[in-house]
């Protein structure tokens, strides 16, 4: 029985490893989150595009908004995790400390929700994609699979849905508004924007300017 279980574990590990390697060049056919939305909302819109087709503005917007240390960290922002822990210990509204890499690991390979099992698997997949994919591919995958509205996945689908234009043509403000809604894409309205989204978008635009020239940024957004 022990040998059988060991073989099953080895088979699963090798299968996951091969899938991770394959996703360095191909896009995932479907994710658990996407399946859930298809069932719950009966709505599914997704358009995979390459990093070059995304344009610079949305890349700067999500890095400036979600994870400014993305170009240089190893997948985990320990300072951010510590601050989130301290904030949550005070009993305030829960704040996440996940990096873009961790969000990709969750969105591509796992399910939504909070549990120690999922967080442990998330750490494993984060480590693997950082080693195998690299920053540019991780950012490209994030912008292709992230939910950006009810049943709307990826920046191309979101750009067409909100602004009737391809992602590469998004203005800085439009990109910032989409990024502003990412923590709760089913809750906030991007176009027309709520007062909260408008205010947060202006803040994100300032961060977009501030991170210009940051170490590793050019490589992470594909401008080597």
- The CATH number of whichever domain residue 23 belongs to comes to 1.10.3810.10
> How large is the average pLDDT for residues 109-129?
90
- CA-to-CA distance for 109 and 148, rounded, in angstroms? 18
Position 95 pLDDT exceeds 60:
no
Asked whether residue 59 is assigned to any structural domain, the reply reads yes
Asked whether residue 190 is assigned to any structural domain, the reply reads yes
> How large is the average pLDDT for residues 147-164?
95
Separation in Å, CA 171 to CA 54, 57, 159 = 12, 7, 11
- Write down the pTM of the prediction: 0.90
How far is C-alpha 16 from the geometric centre of its chain's CA atoms?
20
Question: What's the total number of domains in the chain?
Answer: 1
Alpha-helical (H) ranges within the chain are 2-22, 32-41, 51-54, 56-66, 78-89, 100-109, 116-132, 135-145, 155-163, 172-181, 195-210, 217-220
Q: In degrees, to the nearest 5, what angle opens at C-alpha 189 toward C-alphas 186 and 195?
A: 130
- CA-to-CA distance for 38 and 150, rounded, in angstroms? 10
> How large is the average pLDDT for residues 107-133?
91
Q: How confident is the model at residue 10 (pLDDT cuts 50, 70, 90)?
A: confident
Token pair 């961060």 is found at 207
What pLDDT sits at residue 88? 58
Position 87 pLDDT exceeds 60:
no
Position 82 pLDDT exceeds 80:
no
Higher-confidence position of 116 and 18: 18
Asked whether residue 141 is assigned to any structural domain, the reply reads yes
CB-based contacts of 192, cutoff 8 Å, min separation 6 = none
What pLDDT sits at residue 92? 58
- CA-to-CA distance for 62 and 186, rounded, in angstroms? 17
> Crossing angle, helix 100-109 and helix 135-145, to 10 degrees?
60
Asked whether residue 8 is assigned to any structural domain, the reply reads no
What six digits make up the tokens of 83? 């601050």
What pLDDT sits at residue 105? 95
* Residue ranges making up the domain that contains 155: 17-71+134-220
Q: For residue range 168-205, what is the model confidence (pLDDT) as tens digits?
A: 999 999 999 999 999 889 899 899 999 999 999 999 99
Q: For residue range 25-53, what is the model confidence (pLDDT) as tens digits?
A: 999 999 998 998 888 888 889 999 999 99
- CA-to-CA distance for 25 and 126, rounded, in angstroms? 17
Position 93 pLDDT exceeds 60:
no
Asked whether residue 99 is assigned to any structural domain, the reply reads no
Strand partners, 147: 153
Asked whether residue 187 is assigned to any structural domain, the reply reads yes
CB-based contacts of 28, cutoff 8 Å, min separation 6 = 108, 145
Asked whether residue 34 is assigned to any structural domain, the reply reads yes
What pLDDT sits at residue 5? 84
Separation in Å, CA 160 to CA 51, 77, 107, 111, 191 = 17, 32, 21, 26, 12
Asked whether residue 140 is assigned to any structural domain, the reply reads yes
At residue 69, what are phi and psi to the nearest 5 degrees? Answer: -90, 5
């Amino acid at each position: 029985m022990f040998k059988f279980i060991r073989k099953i574990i080895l088979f699963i590990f090798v299968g996951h490893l091969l899938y991770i390697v394959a996703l360095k060049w191909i896009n995932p056919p479907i994710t658990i989150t996407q399946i859930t939305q298809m069932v719950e909302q009966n709505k599914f819109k997704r358009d995979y595009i390459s990093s070059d087709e995304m344009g610079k503005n949305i890349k700067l917007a999500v890095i400036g908004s979600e994870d400014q240390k993305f170009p240089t960290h190893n997948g985990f922002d320990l300072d951010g995790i510590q601050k989130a822990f301290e904030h949550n210990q005070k009993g305030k509204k829960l704040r996440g400390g996940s990096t873009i890499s961790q969000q990709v690991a969750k969105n591509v390979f796992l399910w939504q929700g909070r549990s120690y099992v999922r967080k442990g698997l998330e750490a494993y997949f984060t480590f693997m994609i950082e080693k195998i994919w690299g920053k540019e591919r991780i950012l490209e995958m994030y912008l292709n699979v992230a939910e950006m509205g009810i049943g709307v996945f990826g920046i191309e689908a979101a750009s067409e849905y909100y602004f009737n234009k391809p992602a590469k043509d998004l203005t800085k403000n439009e990109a910032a508004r989409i990024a502003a809604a990412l923590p709760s894409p089913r809750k906030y309205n991007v176009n027309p924007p709520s007062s909260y989204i408008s205010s947060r978008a202006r803040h994100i635009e300032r961060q977009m300017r501030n991170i210009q020239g940051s170490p590793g940024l050019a490589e992470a957004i594909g401008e080597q």
